[in-house]
């Protein structure tokens, strides 16, 4: 093992150390059966147990009963941008979307390919630096689509109103990061590779009663009802990615579930944003009330010091805080598995950087 890395990657992202260890062991010899989990049948009892426990833990952590179904599908959240309208948008009907950034825009673009889309609110006017509020949800739309956390801009929706129509939420970048009243949602989807596991699997939780109403013919692989009938194994699922998700869900439950992780995430976010606000060399990029507890975006006030700062955080073992090209600057992604020690390492580097260079005219 090389030296300790503080992994702030925006996704695929850091996983708990014990999950990594157990996943690697499963890749070598799974359940002590003498075979890797990579080379056993997905119809074997060993893997069916993995799938069933993962599906069941999702429901348990969210407090869902039998009216919701959990699927682990391949293809990524981008595939959900297509599957959601294919399964929910009635021919001739309309769906309502809130545009909070690049990913929401992609979801809108895909949905427009097959029906009428009403973008009822957008924060594009201010480069997606806030979350729209106070809009009216049209009661005649088939569903409302929102994005709970916007990785690129570092914004997060903190309040969710009761909706008169089914609510679909892309939770890819803040799934299982906080307690929520999940009953406000009818369909939740999330790529596994941020808070839940490894790239290659996408979790979908759907209230079964909202399905089967469009009359639309579609490919089997796009049809939630086909996957539900197949118990999330209509075809060979992304076995290893699902196993990593299971290990992460077990880690979460064992340590105290969403209440436990929410407290830690609150502490990490407070530490990070307090420093961004205090430090004379940095400034946050988005509306304070909409700041994401997962992704903190900030800019350097003296761009001429960029290389100096970059060298400092790299020397401190910090990795992956370069901002997305749409925002620039820095983005510290603090997903569930990132420890507060890693945030401290970054904050300490920012403090040291300020001490050395705040009054300096020299770029080192």
Of 1 and 362, the one with the shorter C-beta distance to a copy of itself is: 1
Is 325 among the residues that bind a copy of itself (CB under 8 A)? no
Least Å from the CB of residue 37 to a copy of itself: 9
Is 11 among the residues that bind a copy of itself (CB under 8 A)? yes
Is 91 among the residues that bind a copy of itself (CB under 8 A)? no
Is 131 among the residues that bind a copy of itself (CB under 8 A)? no
Is 363 among the residues that bind a copy of itself (CB under 8 A)? no
Is 119 among the residues that bind a copy of itself (CB under 8 A)? no
Which stretch, 58-66, 197-205, 250-258, 268-276, contacts a copy of itself (CB under 8 A)?
197-205
Helix (H), strand (E), coil (C) string for the chain: CCCCCEECCCCCCCCCHHHHHHHHHHHHCHHHCCCCHHHCCCCCHHHHHHHHHHHHHHHHHHCCCCCEEEEEECCCHHHHHHHHHHHHCCCCCEEEEEECCHHHHHHHHHHHCCCEEEEEEECHHHCCCCCCCCCCCCCCCCCEEEECEECCCCEECCCCCCCCCCEEEECCCCCCCCCCCHHHCCEEEEECCCCCCCCCCEEEEEEHHHCCCCCCCCCHHHCHHHHHHCCCCCCCCCHHHHHHHHHHHHHHHHHCHHHHHHHHHHHHHHHHHHHHHHCCCEEECCCHHHECCCEEEEEECCHHHHHHHHHHHHHCCEECCECCCCCCCEEEECCCCCCHHHHHHHHHHHHHHHHHHCCCCCCC
Is 144 among the residues that bind a copy of itself (CB under 8 A)? no
From 118, 209, 235, 255, residue interacting with a copy of itself (rule: CB under 8 A): 235
Estimate to the nearest angstrom the gap between the alpha carbon of 296 and the chain centroid: 14
Dihedral over Cα of 101, 104, 107, 112: its sign: negative
Calpha distance 208→205 (Å, rounded): 9
From 81, 97, 182, 298, residue interacting with a copy of itself (rule: CB under 8 A): 81
From 46, 48, 74, 179, residue interacting with a copy of itself (rule: CB under 8 A): 74
- Tell me, by CB under 8 A, how many residues bind a copy of itself: 71
From 101, 115, 154, 200, residue interacting with a copy of itself (rule: CB under 8 A): 200
Is 109 among the residues that bind a copy of itself (CB under 8 A)? yes
Of 35 and 90, the one with the shorter C-beta distance to a copy of itself is: 35
Calpha distance 273→291 (Å, rounded): 9
* Residues between 18 and 37 that touch a copy of itself (CB under 8 A): 20-21, 23-25, 27-29, 32-36
From 39, 125, 315, 359, residue interacting with a copy of itself (rule: CB under 8 A): 39
Least Å from the CB of residue 22 to a copy of itself: 10
From 51, 95, 105, 110, residue interacting with a copy of itself (rule: CB under 8 A): 110
Burial string for 245-276 (b: 16+ CB within 10 Å, else e) reads bbbbbbbbeeeebbeebbebbeebbebbbebb
Catalytic residues: 103, 170, 194
From 118, 236, 360, 363, residue interacting with a copy of itself (rule: CB under 8 A): 236
Is 48 among the residues that bind a copy of itself (CB under 8 A)? no
Is 76 among the residues that bind a copy of itself (CB under 8 A)? yes
Least Å from the CB of residue 86 to a copy of itself: 8
Least Å from the CB of residue 130 to a copy of itself: 26
* Residues between 166 and 195 that touch a copy of itself (CB under 8 A): 191, 193
Which stretch, 11-19, 93-101, 121-129, 161-169, contacts a copy of itself (CB under 8 A)?
11-19
Least Å from the CB of residue 134 to a copy of itself: 32
């Amino acid at each position: 093992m090389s030296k300790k890395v503080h992994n702030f990657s925006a996704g695929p992202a850091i996983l708990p150390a014990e999950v990594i260890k157990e996943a690697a062991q499963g890749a070598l010899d799974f359940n002590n059966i003498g075979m890797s989990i990579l080379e056993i049948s997905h119809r074997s009892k060993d893997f069916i147990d993995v799938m069933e426990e993962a599906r069941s833990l999702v429901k348990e952590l969210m407090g869902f009963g039998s009216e919701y179904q959990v699927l682990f599908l391949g293809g990524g959240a981008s595939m959900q941008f297509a599957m959601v309208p294919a399964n929910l948008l009635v021919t001739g009907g309309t769906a309502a979307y809130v545009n909070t950034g690049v990913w929401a825009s992609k979801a809108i673009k895909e949905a427009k390919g097959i029906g009428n889309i009403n973008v009822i609110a957008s924060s594009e006017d201010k480069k997606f630096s806030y979350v729209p509020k106070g809009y009216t949800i049209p009661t005649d739309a088939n569903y409302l689509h929102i994005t709970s956390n916007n990785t690129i801009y570092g914004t997060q929706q903190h309040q969710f109103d009761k909706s008169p129509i089914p609510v679909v939420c892309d939770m890819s970048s803040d799934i299982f990061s906080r307690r929520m009243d999940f009953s406000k949602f009818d369909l939740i989807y999330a790529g596994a590779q941020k808070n839940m596991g490894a790239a290659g699997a996408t979790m979908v939780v759907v209230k079964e009663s909202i399905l089967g109403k469009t009359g639309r013919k579609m490919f089997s692989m796009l049809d939630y009802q086909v996957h539900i009938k197949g118990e999330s194994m209509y075809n060979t699922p992304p076995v290893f990615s699902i196993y990593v998700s299971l290990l992460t869900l077990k880690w979460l439950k064992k340590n105290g579930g969403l209440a436990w992780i929410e407290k830690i995430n609150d502490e990490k976010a407070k530490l990070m944003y307090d420093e961004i606000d205090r430090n004379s060399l940095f400034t946050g990029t988005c509306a304070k009330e909409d700041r994401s507890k997962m992704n903190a975006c900030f800019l350097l006030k003296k761009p001429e010091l960029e290389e100096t700062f970059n060298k400092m955080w790299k020397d401190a073992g910090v990795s992956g805080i370069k901002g997305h090209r749409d925002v620039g600057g820095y983005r510290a992604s603090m997903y569930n598995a990132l420890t507060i020690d890693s945030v401290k390492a970054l904050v300490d580097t920012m403090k040291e950087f300020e001490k050395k260079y705040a009054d300096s005219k020299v770029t080192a």
